[in-house]
Amino acid sequence: MADPARAQRLAKRISSIVASAIANEIKDPRLAHVTVTDARVTADLHDATIFYTVMGAGIDDEPDLEGAAAGLKKATGILRSKVGAGTGVRFTPTLTFVVDTVPDAARQMEELVAKARASDELVARQAAGARPAGDADPYRSKDDDDPETADGEDTDE
């Protein structure tokens, strides 16, 4: 079993090597908008999971997730050989590519927070002109003429 810190360093190095190879050395047009976001290596250093995101060609274009997955699958052997040459470990880890869902989850959370803020603003606007349904001070005070305490007896017994 390897040191967890070593596995973390190796994952960071693998992420760097794969990102550099995708950007500069692999000429597959399906990988043009792929960004490596994270990498994780198992404790025995035999398997590496690489997380990636895919951007659309333009701002309004949908990302081609299937094309990127096919391009990464085709380039896995080349990328693994680059990782082996760049890391210098005895056993080159197998590479598995997984679409990173964190950006989508963050976008959904931001939308939910925006909805909550809008709801809070609506409630605050409605509460600004609201008046209490009953008396302004609905709580009893000692100054009230209460028939039970009018004779001077304390009712807390």
Global confidence as pTM? 0.68
**CA distances for 132 relative to 1, 51, 54, angstroms:** 67, 55, 54
Cα dihedral 99→103→108→112 (10° resolution): 150
Per the CB < 8 A criterion, the answer to whether 46 and 96 are in contact is: no
Q: Is residue 89 pLDDT above 90, yes or no?
A: no
Q: CB under 8 Å to 30, separation ≥6 — which residues?
A: 64, 67, 68, 70, 71
Task: Provide the pLDDT for residue 19.
Answer: 94
C-alpha 58/C-alpha 7 separation (Å) is: 36
pLDDT of residue 22: 93
Amino acid 149: pLDDT: 55
**pLDDT digits 0-9 by tens, 103-116:** 788 889 999 999 99
Residue 55 near residue 40, CB atoms below 8 Å:
no
Q: Output the CA–CA distances (angstroms, integers) from residue 105 to 7, 62, 64, 110, in the order listed.
A: 27, 17, 19, 9
Q: What is the pLDDT of residue 144?
A: 65
pLDDT band for position 81 (50/70/90)? Answer: very high
